[in-house]
A and B are shown apart, each in its own frame.
Chain A
Amino acid sequence: MSKLVEMTGIEKYFPGVHALKNVQFDIAPGEVHALMGENGAGKSTLMKILSGIYQRDGGDLVINGQSVSPTTPGEAQDLGIGIIHQELSLMNDLTAAQNIFIGREPRKSFGRLDEAALNAQTAEIFESMNLDMDPTVPVGSLTIAKQQMVEIAKALSFRSKVLIMDEPTAALNDAEIAELFVIIRGLKAEGVGIVYISHKMDELKQIADRVTVMRDGEYVGTVGAAETPISQIIAMMVGREVNEEPLEVPDLGDAEVSLKVTGLNRGRDIQNVSFSVQRGEILGFAGLMGAGRTEVARAIFGADARDGGVIEVHGQSVNIRTPSDAVKAGIGYLSEDRKHFGLATGMNVRDNIALSSLDLFSKGGQLDEAAMASTTQEFIRRLGIRTPSDTQEVRLLSGGNQQKVVIAKWLLRDCDILIFDEPTRGIDIGAKSEIYKLLEELAAEGKTIIVISSELPEIMRLSHRIAVMCEGRLTGILPGGKDTTQEDIMQLATQREAAMRVVETVQ
């Protein structure tokens, strides 16, 4: 049987990064081909090349027997490649039909829209999918699952032969997933080839025919979904060698429990999460994207409201409703998105470090600039922030130095519980180890550190204990150091039904 798509020897470079190295991938008609890999393995980049969003720097892309190089999503669509992004891109106030035919609406004379034809054509597509939906229903009133169906219908309306689905079940419940799988099986029967990107192991067994695994921008291998055990697929995903020496987990003994969270809840995002951290401990939070780790951090910090849960700081229950309550309790949060949530980028280093402590420098509302300058210069020295001066705008600093500015902000505020969300995102390798050292020093000084990271090596490198989340639930807490392998973590991170395996060192 001839392939719909064959990608061979694909290379892609981004400034400073070799994103794809000699990657291969193919799709046959009527199959579901799962593409697996950790965050950053290169799955999305590969699919963006296939769908015309990026251009390859090397290798060959053959569609229907012809070598092609689509340079826009439109060209890829014309070649029969449809993509459904993880974040739906529908216009909520338009109807399903209007969304599907946006930009190519059937017209009557004088540019008038032919709504009747629009709805009729949409109804035809829905019928071919065995989908019972009214074309005139506003998309905003549909459930996420139904909206996904509209996206699929839209892709099919381009007569797509290949459909790329990027984590289609991320926002769906079990019933909705079943509904989606019915549609997918129908498409298979029609001969459509489906690329299925997902992190959920149990889904593979249900829906996929073949599985291709990528790691660090490289092709690892392709196996049959039915006959390959999940443990083997996980091993393929994480199989890189860990070149760090194993972490020495310090014995904290009966050090004070500085933060204790019990029964934290927030809608579907956080479901009954409980854990505690000791003074001087680094607790890592592992999990795949969307597991709810950032949500837990934001809820503890008061950035988002929580539905329930008790937060105790140094043994005292504290009522945290806003970030300013959290800061008063001594909790600081370093967001994964420094630009949007961490820094006032237009302002200088001094102002950013002092941002949450301006009252310390205020004499009757008047700022003592000299004191601010000397304090911030001390932090610049202590943390080794590379900046020409403390009046340099922070947007001109490198990522690592920006991160240090945010750390300085919380140290100045005297926060002793620090939550780092993806502390090294967008930071180059050299600066990473500097940040790691800084975190270890802070823990040794008696600060309590929580690190959220999607990079397993980073979690393994830093954590004294490792909390793992999946779909809003805490699926287990593992010991740090050499006793825990990446496979152990991945097992918990993909464990959909709670079979809690908690290895608590503190009760």
Chain B
Amino acid sequence: MTSVTDVNEKSPLANMGSSGAYQKLLAFASLIALLIGFSIASPNFMQTSNMIAILQATSVNGVLAVAATLVIITGGIDLSVGTLMTFCAVIAGVVLTYMGMPLLLGVAAAIGAGALCGLVSGTFVAKMKIPPFIATLGMMLILKGLSLVISGTRPIYFNDTPGFDQISRGSLIGKVIPSLPIPNGVLILFIVAIAAAYILSRTVLGRYTFALGSNEEAVRLSGVNTDVWKMRIYALAGGICGIGGILIASRLNSAQPALGLGYELEAIAAVVIGGTSLSGGRGTILGTIIGALIMAVLTNGLRVLSVAQEWQTVVTGAIIILAVYADMVRRKKSG
């Protein structure tokens, strides 16, 4: 670089292992280790059908985790991703089943409702200065209640909307490559993930997402309207939850209003395992996807090995602690 006048004394190596990279590597290695371990333990594990089941199980959690990643990088947290997903599914049910609107309109309504709810959360956080934990905790409960109210506490089925279940369950890839019937839900997850990764790394919105998490006051004093950008990020995350709502509704061919609680914790767990810092400023979508896959592989593998469900939960919890502890140890070493 011609502009370089002098080299800073500090080792350039210090710059290489930015927290995410190492943790991603660690997470990726753990994923491979889990896959190998389970294949040795059970011959049923490495079947194509089982692999597809794992991917299918990752799709909804993965999408929610991507949404949570965006908010967490700003230094916030979103506890409402799970019940917002359900709320969006219910909205889709109302538009498609109750009102008999065309398929695309239902999908648009779900995503729009998600973005709007995200904007509301963002307003609470940015304008009213309510801590994100509290604001989204409130939203989580509000949305859970609204889903039950709107649906009359009963599931809404999509039997009258032909093709709705194909959104998640169909397989465009399987049509082209019959031996690889990867469901559309997984395809959608990857499209969402790539789009989110692009937004984070290549757009103004993405740059401000990191900047807000890195030092919000400095960004504000740079003359940036931080409130507006934060609201946009929450709205984007909400819209992604809307996509999650479509995916789960399509997979179940129904909107289950009681569902949703607990999904937010799985999403946050995936984000954390993927190396995104809960204090903001650092994180990657790739890490989050790997984190979501680890969670799915673990659940699936333990089930294949006939480990009781209760114990699966225990193991998941332990993995989260381990993943974050490994990151802490590394951080301390690198100073």
Interface string of B190-223 (1 = CB under 8 A from A): 0000000000001111111011001101111111
In the complex, are the beta carbons of A413 and B8 less than 8 A apart?
no
User: What is the CB-to-nearest-CB distance from A322 to chain B, in angstroms, rounded to a whole number?
Assistant: 7
Residue of A nearest to B19 (CB): A346
Q: Is A36 part of the contact surface with B, judged by Cβ < 8 Å? A: no
Stretch at the interface among A150-158, A235-243, A380-388, A430-438: A380-388
Q: For residue B12, which residues in chain A have a CB less than 8 angstroms away from its CB?
A: 388
Contact of A356 among B5, B206, B223 (CB under 8 A): B223
In the complex, are the beta carbons of A340 and B15 less than 8 A apart?
no
Considering only residues 52-94 of chain A, those with a C-beta below 8 Å from chain B are none
Considering only residues 316-357 of chain A, those with a C-beta below 8 Å from chain B are 322-324, 326-328, 332-333, 335, 340-347, 351, 354-356
Interface size on B, residues (CB 8 A): 35
Cα-based distance from A386 to B15 in the complex (angstroms): 16
In the complex, are the beta carbons of B220 and A323 less than 8 A apart?
yes
Contact of B204 among A346, A358, A393, A398 (CB under 8 A): A358
Contact of B223 among A326, A343, A346 (CB under 8 A): A326
Cα-based distance from A354 to B225 in the complex (angstroms): 15
In the complex, are the beta carbons of A388 and B222 less than 8 A apart?
no
In the complex, are the beta carbons of B4 and A389 less than 8 A apart?
yes
Cα-based distance from A219 to B12 in the complex (angstroms): 44
Considering only residues 167-211 of chain B, those with a C-beta below 8 Å from chain A are 202-208, 210-211
Residue of B nearest to A344 (CB): B214
Q: For residue B205, which residues in chain A have a CB less than 8 angstroms away from its CB?
A: 365
Q: Is B308 part of the contact surface with A, judged by Cβ < 8 Å? A: no
Q: Is A458 part of the contact surface with B, judged by Cβ < 8 Å? A: no
With A340-B217, A413-B223 as given contacts, are A398 and B8 in contact (CB-CB < 8 Å)?
yes
User: What is the CB-to-nearest-CB distance from B283 to chain A, in angstroms, rounded to a whole number?
Assistant: 11
In the complex, are the beta carbons of B203 and A355 less than 8 A apart?
no
With A323-B221, A388-B7 as given contacts, are A365 and B215 in contact (CB-CB < 8 Å)?
no
Q: For residue A324, which residues in chain B have a CB less than 8 angstroms away from its CB?
A: 223-225
In the complex, are the beta carbons of A356 and B222 less than 8 A apart?
yes
Q: Is B160 part of the contact surface with A, judged by Cβ < 8 Å? A: no
Q: For residue B7, which residues in chain A have a CB less than 8 angstroms away from its CB?
A: 386, 388
In the complex, are the beta carbons of B8 and A347 less than 8 A apart?
no
In the complex, are the beta carbons of A390 and B3 less than 8 A apart?
yes
Contact of B221 among A333, A347, A390, A397 (CB under 8 A): A333
Q: For residue A397, which residues in chain B have a CB less than 8 angstroms away from its CB?
A: 8
Q: For residue B220, which residues in chain A have a CB less than 8 angstroms away from its CB?
A: 303, 322-323
Q: For residue A409, which residues in chain B have a CB less than 8 angstroms away from its CB?
A: 222
User: Secondary structure at chain A's binding surface: helix, strand, loop or mixed?
Assistant: mixed
User: What is the CB-to-nearest-CB distance from A377 to chain B, in angstroms, rounded to a whole number?
Assistant: 4
Q: Is B118 part of the contact surface with A, judged by Cβ < 8 Å? A: no
Q: Is A274 part of the contact surface with B, judged by Cβ < 8 Å? A: no
Contact of B224 among A303, A355, A378, A387 (CB under 8 A): A355
Q: For residue B221, which residues in chain A have a CB less than 8 angstroms away from its CB?
A: 301, 303, 323, 333, 335, 341-342
Q: For residue B332, which residues in chain A have a CB less than 8 angstroms away from its CB?
A: none
Q: Is A120 part of the contact surface with B, judged by Cβ < 8 Å? A: no
User: What is the CB-to-nearest-CB distance from A88 to chain B, in angstroms, rounded to a whole number?
Assistant: 24
In the complex, are the beta carbons of A346 and B8 less than 8 A apart?
no
Q: Is A362 part of the contact surface with B, judged by Cβ < 8 Å? A: yes
Interface string of A191-230 (1 = CB under 8 A from B): 0000000000000000000000000000000000000000
Contact of A358 among B3, B5, B8, B207 (CB under 8 A): B207
Q: Is B329 part of the contact surface with A, judged by Cβ < 8 Å? A: no
Considering only residues 255-311 of chain B, those with a C-beta below 8 Å from chain A are 281-282
In the complex, are the beta carbons of A386 and B6 less than 8 A apart?
yes
With A324-B225, A358-B207, A367-B203 as given contacts, are A346 and B217 in contact (CB-CB < 8 Å)?
no
User: What is the CB-to-nearest-CB distance from A344 to chain B, in angstroms, rounded to a whole number?
Assistant: 4
User: What is the CB-to-nearest-CB distance from A380 to chain B, in angstroms, rounded to a whole number?
Assistant: 5
In the complex, are the beta carbons of B218 and A346 less than 8 A apart?
no
In the complex, are the beta carbons of A387 and B204 less than 8 A apart?
no
Q: Is A507 part of the contact surface with B, judged by Cβ < 8 Å? A: no
Cα-based distance from A119 to B221 in the complex (angstroms): 47
Q: Is A147 part of the contact surface with B, judged by Cβ < 8 Å? A: no
**Residues of A near any B CB (own CB < 8 A):** 301, 303, 322-324, 326-328, 332-333, 335, 340-347, 351, 354-356, 358-359, 361-362, 365-367, 369, 377-378, 380-381, 384-390, 392-393, 396-398, 401, 409, 413
State the 10 A-B residue pairs at the shortest beta-carbon distance, nearest first. A327-B223, A356-B222, A344-B214, A377-B3, A346-B214, A386-B6, A344-B215, A324-B223, A380-B3, A355-B222
6 residue pairs of the A-B complex, CB under 8 angstroms, read A324-B225, A347-B214, A355-B218, A358-B204, A387-B8, A401-B8
Q: A347-B210, A351-B210 are in contact. List 6 more A-B contacts (CB 8 A).
A: A344-B215, A347-B211, A355-B211, A367-B203, A388-B1, A390-B1
